[in-house]
Amino acid sequence: DPKIIQKPKYLVAVTGSEKILICEQYLGHNAMYWYRQSAKKPLEFMFSYSYQKLMDNQTASSRFQPQSSKKNHLDLQITALKPDDSATYFCASSPRDTEVFFGKGTRLTVV
Amino acid sequence: QQKVQQSPESLSVPEGGMASLNCTSSDRNFQYFWWYRQHSGEGPKALMSIFSDGDKKEGRFTAHLNKASLHVSLHIRDSQPSDSALYFCAASYSGGSNYKLTFGKGTLLTVTP
């Protein structure tokens, strides 16, 4: 059973539109993250949330906004989508100071 | 410049053979190194971590760290077709920031039956 559920698995969006990527984790971790994997760059850290509070933000653009409605939820809202945003977005979580567990990802294509 | 560089980009080994993957960091502030494996259609999964100089063995997998040269390697003994995957080296600055990983571009390993 997948312990980190990401929805949808695939997503196609039009340039300029807005999308929300959903993530729920059932590992009991208090810390959750978003990473991005694109064709041009290695897997890269975006955000860190702990106890539903933003702890670390490595994303320069304000078009990317995490949203945490529950302790085990961390969605990612992306506005004014650009073709360069096309990537696979991974939700992840971890117990404190140990390995990071990744979901299966949402592959976003912006046309 | 990438802070974590991996080589080779791809590697093919026969079943039962030894696979050797390399990783070099350009940032001496990295303290922890991780090896992650990603099968097609899945998210990355941690294989092992290493933060002390020397070898660390877990089953068929052995990681080696040389902090002086900032070099990390992963050796897979008795490679199996199920080991075919994308392998990432990742680094973090401290134990407290192990969530904030800097990844290399990966080595694609193919184990041929």
A100 contact B CB<8A = yes
Q: What is residue A1's predicted lDDT score, i.e. its pLDDT?
A: 66
Question: What is the percent of chain B with per-residue pLDDT over 90, rounded to a whole number?
Answer: 91
Quick check: B43 and A104 CB within 8 A? yes
Within 30-49 of A, beta carbons closer than 8 Å to B belong to: 31, 33, 42-45, 48
Q: How many CB atoms lie within 10 A of CB B95?
A: 13
Give the Cα separation of B43 and B36 in Å (integer). 10
Sign of CA dihedral B14, B84, B93, A97: negative
Residue with structure tokens 């559920």?
A: A5
Quick check: B99 and A31 CB within 8 A? yes
Give the Cα separation of B105 and B86 in Å (integer). 9
Give the Cα separation of A53 and A49 in Å (integer). 5
Contacts of B22 (CB under 8 A, 6+ apart): B6, B7, B8, B71, B72, B73
Label residue A40 by pLDDT band (50, 70, 90). confident
Which residues of B fall within a CB distance of 8 Å from A31? 99
B43 contact A CB<8A = yes
Average pLDDT value over all residues in chain B: 95
**CB-count exposure of residue B26 (10 Å: 0-12, 13-18, 19+):** exposed
Label residue B99 by pLDDT band (50, 70, 90). confident
Give the Cα separation of A21 and A11 in Å (integer). 9
Give the Cα separation of A7 and B64 in Å (integer). 37
Nearest to A102 among B4, B43, B102 (CB): B43
Specify whether the CB–CB gap between B77 and B58 falls below 8 A: no
A97 contact B CB<8A = yes
Specify whether the CB–CB gap between B72 and B51 falls below 8 A: no
Choose, out of B23, B86, B89, B99, the residue to mutate when testing the contact with A (most A CBs < 10 Å): B99
Task: Please give the single-letter amino acid code of residue B89.
Answer: C
Mean pLDDT of A72-79: 96
A99 phi, psi to nearest 5 deg: -60, 150
Give the Cα separation of B65 and B51 in Å (integer). 7
Choose, out of A23, A43, A94, A107, the residue to mutate when testing the contact with B (most B CBs < 10 Å): A43
**DSSP code at position A87:** E
Mean pLDDT of A78-82: 98
